[in-house]
């Protein structure tokens, strides 16, 4: 007799195959958070009502996110006679058109098509995997996202799901740890510590029971990789957690997830229930004699809880404040017991490594950074989205080949990686490979995968101030360097951006960076100076322009810019005069207007209201007296 | 209030580490955390009120005053910041006549900022009553409230 797992997988594969080759058209709508905010539900409802009204026979499935944020809402339509086509930016009207032309008429709508899924292309519609966005990507962790129904265990099983667990169930813990070590996997949460080595510490540590915690408290502003994975393929995390539990010898796992991700939490709860009833969680998993279960813990909105010891304090029901290390959590963690904390992507990679083998996993990546990594490529890039690339790819390839370059054809200025703990990498270093060590070498970090692209309209002093405002606000206040150091640094940056800075300040700022970095208790404080240090390192001229010339070259810092009206293009329409909240604009009808610089608060309302055809209001760096 | 809290407590065991889930449940039920709720929780799990207050004030999720019927959370994440979040926040603030962290006197609207919603691909964005609005412009924001006010009048 076949094992129950083999039978379950066989059934799931049959179902999946039937869905792929069924005569009835299948419509998939991406309804993850990003799709929803772009109106995916309106599209979904429109599709449902139109097909119902027309009596069209079709299957409509909600799927997760493919990572094409710029083209949301996305819809794919597959029929038995041709390869499935993926469409982008489908609003209600376009949904109707798709049903009429593609579903009923079997004529794909080329105008909205992004590409075909699978291996066959159509006339005039390219293979999605050959388009600029996808051809540089290697999708492994995200391979199911956007294609399977995230709340269907059967879809996950049909796509190699839980086959990693099946293997692990028959392996000894030494072999599991060995496999993870051989893969070269390093923690995807930011610090990049070798996962297998960390597990070994925990396995060997004295103390029972041991605990496993998944850190899903994705707090870096500008990052949403974990959210997309949790919403699009929650079972991959659960499978990874069970394997990790067996590896380290823990029978209890926690997922610490942000409360700001309601959909991810909902999907996780559903997936855990499904895994329990299928026998993947609970007692004697797959006949291995190993017990494991998972509890979800909702975060309460504290960035510092991404730090291991703070996260543990939060689960224990305390204020989320870090404590000194050592002892490391692998030796003494949750309730004083050996605890492993891994990031969502690390654990999802574990499932992959066991499914496909360490050698396969390490087939991509650079010498010391193996495998693929997901990034949230956002900011001033033409095609923002979630991407997965082999480590070692260059920044240039990511921004220009995958992201399509800079919006509105402006110039690329810098890219910020690693969130508040990372730094800004300038245009001149765009050929830097994206891996742990190369990014460290240029003064940034890889972090969890946020990548915010900036153009020449971003002021780097303002960016540094922005991050310090963030870390200062999120500092738990536990140690002096972080509590007071970041405050002093922020005050100096405030002075510089308001035109009150001096050269002396810049020196103090650099000294403070050193001190805080060396003396803060936890990762939050130790890395808080990174955005300041990296911007001083690469954009010192901008700091000097603020301090000496009292100018903001990027025209961002309000105290260091001026608005004026070009008398040659001003038609005297009066729009700016009416928009000005302080009465600084004066002029007669059909006569060029003027701005009284003494009254002007530089809010920019006049420039916003000035009709495009005149574009008479201009903003310039520095002050006009 | 006491009755609704007791009903809520019935789903918990009264262990110390349940404090954050308890606070979350109480806030979901009451909309905010009034002093009495904190007191009841401290009695339920047998720890001093000061400790309950200490934990509650540490986490930004917890509120100690009621929010408006329409609760706006303007995102100030990095991607949003680079794409003009400060102007979006200012427009929200101007439209509603309240600052970050305030509620209108009639309890209709409240405004706060959040670190990151995680919809960075659609920056700048904001969350209005659990619904994420993306690709915002000052015009879109002011139009939004204009429309909303009109709707309310017709209702």
Q: pLDDT tens, A131-140?
A: 999 999 999 9
| Confidence label for B149 from pLDDT (cuts 50, 70 and 90) | low
Choose the mutation target among B118, B137, B138 for the interface with A, i.e. most A CBs under 10 Å. B118
What proportions of chain B, in percent to the nearest 5, are helix, strand and coil?
Answer: 50, 15, 35
Residue B73 bridge partners (DSSP): B112, B127
Q: Pick B61's closest partner by Cβ from A259, A474, A603.
A: A259
Asked whether the beta carbons of A180 and A351 are under 8 A apart, the reply is no
Q: pLDDT tens, A44-93?
A: 999 999 999 988 889 999 999 899 989 999 999 998 888 899 999 999 99
**Which residue did the predictor score with more confidence, B153 or B151?**
B151
pLDDT at A605 over 80: yes
Cβ contact B17–A316 (<8 Å): yes
Closest residue in A to B79 (Cα–Cα): A379
| Confidence label for A373 from pLDDT (cuts 50, 70 and 90) | very high
Token pair in block for residue A515: 């001190």
Asked whether the beta carbons of A447 and A190 are under 8 A apart, the reply is yes
Choose the mutation target among A36, A67, A221 for the interface with B, i.e. most B CBs under 10 Å. A221
What residues in B contact A458, CB-CB < 8 Å?
Answer: 82
Closest-CA distance, B105 to chain A, in angstroms, reads 24
This prediction's pTM: 0.93
Closest residue in A to B124 (Cα–Cα): A379
| C-alpha to C-alpha distances, A140 to A403, A594, B71, nearest whole angstrom | 19, 59, 39
| Confidence label for A608 from pLDDT (cuts 50, 70 and 90) | confident
Pairing of strands A372-379, A450-455: parallel
Q: Which of A65, A375, A353 is nearest to A190 (CA)?
A: A375
Closest residue in A to B53 (Cα–Cα): A319
Q: pLDDT tens, B92-147?
A: 998 999 999 899 999 999 999 988 887 888 889 999 987 888 899 988 898 887 66
- Determine the pLDDT at residue B147: 61
DSSP H or E stretch at residue A177: helix A173-183
Mean pLDDT of B56-69: 91
| C-alpha to C-alpha distances, A624 to A500, A560, A598, B67, nearest whole angstrom | 17, 10, 9, 43
As a whole-number percent, the residues of chain A with pLDDT over 70 amount to: 100
pLDDT at B25 over 90: yes
- Determine the pLDDT at residue B120: 82
DSSP H or E stretch at residue A77: strand A75-79
Residue A87 bridge partners (DSSP): A75, A113
Residues of B contacting chain A (CB within 8 angstroms): 16-21, 23-24, 54-55, 58-62, 76-83, 87, 90, 114-123, 125, 130-135, 138
What average pLDDT is seen over chain B?
Answer: 88
- Determine the pLDDT at residue A290: 95
Mean pLDDT of A549-578: 94
Beta strands in A245-356 (DSSP E): 250-257, 293-298, 339-343
CA gyration radius for chain A? 27
Q: pLDDT tens, A382-433?
A: 999 999 999 999 999 999 999 999 999 899 999 999 999 999 999 999 999 9
What average pLDDT is seen over chain A?
Answer: 94
- Determine the pLDDT at residue B148: 60
Residues contacting residue A609 through CB under 8 Å, at least 6 positions apart: A575, A576, A578, A579
- Determine the pLDDT at residue B121: 81
Mean pLDDT of A224-234: 95
pLDDT at B151 over 70: no
- Determine the pLDDT at residue A500: 96
Residues contacting residue B105 through CB under 8 Å, at least 6 positions apart: none
How far apart are alpha carbons B87 and A602 in whole angstroms?
Answer: 12
How far apart are alpha carbons A339 and A477 in whole angstroms?
Answer: 25
Asked whether the beta carbons of A401 and A430 are under 8 A apart, the reply is no
What residues in A contact B122, CB-CB < 8 Å?
Answer: 34, 37-38, 69, 72
Q: Pick B121's closest partner by Cβ from A36, A70, A608.
A: A70
Closest-CA distance, B149 to chain A, in angstroms, reads 21
Mean pLDDT of B70-84: 89
Asked whether the beta carbons of A91 and A42 are under 8 A apart, the reply is yes
Q: Pick A33's closest partner by Cβ from B23, B61, B118.
A: B118
pLDDT at A513 over 60: yes
Cβ contact A317–B59 (<8 Å): no
What residues in B contact A220, CB-CB < 8 Å?
Answer: 116
Cβ contact B83–A380 (<8 Å): yes
| Confidence label for B155 from pLDDT (cuts 50, 70 and 90) | very low
| Confidence label for A625 from pLDDT (cuts 50, 70 and 90) | confident
Q: pLDDT tens, A335-346?
A: 999 999 999 999
What residues in A contact B90, CB-CB < 8 Å?
Answer: 603
């Amino acid at each position: 007799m076949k094992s129950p797992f083999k039978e379950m997988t066989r059934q799931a594969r049959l179902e999946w195959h039937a869905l792929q080759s069924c005569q009835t058209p299948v419509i998939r709508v991406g309804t993850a958070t990003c799709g929803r905010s772009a109106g995916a539900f309106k599209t979904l409802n429109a599709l449902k009502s139109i097909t119902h009204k027309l009596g069209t026979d079709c299957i409509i499935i909600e799927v997760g996110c493919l990572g094409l944020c710029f083209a949301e809402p996305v819809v794919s339509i597959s029929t038995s006679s041709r390869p499935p086509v993926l469409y982008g930016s489908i609003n209600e009207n376009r949904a109707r058109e798709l049903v009429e032309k593609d579903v009923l008429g079997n004529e794909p709508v080329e105008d909205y098509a992004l590409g075909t899924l699978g291996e066959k292309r159509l006339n005039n519609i390219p293979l999605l995997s050959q388009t600029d966005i996808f051809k540089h990507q290697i999708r492994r962790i995200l391979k199911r996202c956007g294609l399977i129904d995230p709340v269907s265990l059967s879809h996950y099983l049909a796509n190699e799901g839980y086959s990693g667990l099946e293997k692990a169930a028959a392996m000894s813990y030494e072999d599991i740890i060995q496999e993870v070590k051989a893969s070269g996997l390093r923690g995807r949460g930011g610090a990049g510590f070798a996962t297998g080595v960390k597990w070994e510490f925990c396995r060997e540590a004295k103390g029972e029971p041991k605990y496993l915690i998944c850190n899903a408290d994705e707090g870096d502003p500008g990052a949403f990789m974990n959210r997309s994975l949790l919403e699009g393929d929650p079972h991959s995390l659960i499978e990874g957690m069970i394997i990790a539990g067996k590896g380290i010898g823990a029978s209890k796992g926690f997922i610490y997830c942000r409360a700001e991700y309601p959909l991810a939490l909902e999907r996780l709860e559903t997936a855990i229930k499904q895994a329990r009833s299928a026998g993947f969680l609970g007692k004697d998993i797959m006949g291995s004699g190993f017990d494991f279960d998972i509890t979800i813990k909702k975060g309460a909105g504290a960035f510092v809880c991404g730090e291991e010891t703070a996260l543990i304090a939060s689960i224990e029901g305390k204020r989320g404040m870090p404590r000194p290390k050592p002892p490391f959590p692998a030796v003494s963690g949750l309730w004083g017991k050996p605890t492993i904390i891994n990031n969502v992507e690390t654990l999802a990679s574990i499932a992959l490594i066991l499914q496909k083998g360490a050698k396969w996993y390490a087939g991509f990546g650079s010498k010391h950074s193996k495998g693929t990594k997901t990034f949230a490529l956002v900011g001033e890039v033409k095609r923002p989205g979630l991407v997965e690339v082999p480590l070692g790819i260059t920044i240039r390839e990511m921004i220009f080949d995958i992201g399509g370059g800079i919006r509105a054809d402006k110039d690329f200025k810098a890219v910020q990686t690693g969130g508040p703990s990372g730094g800004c990498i300038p245009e001149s270093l765009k050929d830097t490979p994206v891996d742990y060590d190369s990014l460290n070498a240029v003064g940034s970090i890889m972090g969890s995968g946020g990548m915010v692209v900036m153009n020449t309209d971003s002021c780097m002093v303002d960016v540094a101030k922005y991050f310090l405002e963030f870390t200062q606000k999120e500092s738990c206040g536990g140690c002096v360097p972080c509590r007071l150091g970041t405050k002093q640094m922020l005050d100096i940056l405030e002075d510089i951006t308001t035109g009150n800075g001096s050269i002396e300040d810049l020196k103090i700022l650099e000294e403070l960076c050193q001190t805080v970095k060396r003396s803060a208790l936890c990762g939050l404080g130790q890395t808080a100076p990174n955005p300041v240090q990296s911007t001083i390192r690469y954009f010192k001229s901008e700091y000097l322009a603020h301090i000496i010339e009292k100018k903001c070259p990027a025209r961002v810092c309000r105290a260091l810019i001026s608005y004026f009206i070009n008398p040659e293009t001003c038609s005297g329409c009066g729009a700016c005069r009416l928009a000005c909240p302080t009465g600084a604009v004066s002029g007669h009808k059909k006569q060029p207007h003027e701005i009284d610089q003494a009254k002007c608060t530089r809010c920019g309302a006049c420039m916003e209201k000035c009709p495009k055809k005149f574009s008479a209001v201009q903003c310039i760096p520095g002050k006009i007296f | 209030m006491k009755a609704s809290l007791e009903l809520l407590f019935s789903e918990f065991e009264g262990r110390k580490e349940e404090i954050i889930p308890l606070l979350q449940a109480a806030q979901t039920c009451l909309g905010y955390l009034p002093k009495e709720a904190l007191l009841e929780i401290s009695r339920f799990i047998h720890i001093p009120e000061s400790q309950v207050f200490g934990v509650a004030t540490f986490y930004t999720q917890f509120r100690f005053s009621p929010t408006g019927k329409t609760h706006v959370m303007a995102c100030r994440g990095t991607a949003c910041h680079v794409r003009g979040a400060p102007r979006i926040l200012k427009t929200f603030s101007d439209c509603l006549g309240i600052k970050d962290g305030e509620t209108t006197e009639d309890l209709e609207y409240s405004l706060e900022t959040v670190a990151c919603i995680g919809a960075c691909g659609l920056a700048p964005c904001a969350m209005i009553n659990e619904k994420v609005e993306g690709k915002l412009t000052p015009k879109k924001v002011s139009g939004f409230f204009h429309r909303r006010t009109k709707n309310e009048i017709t209702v």
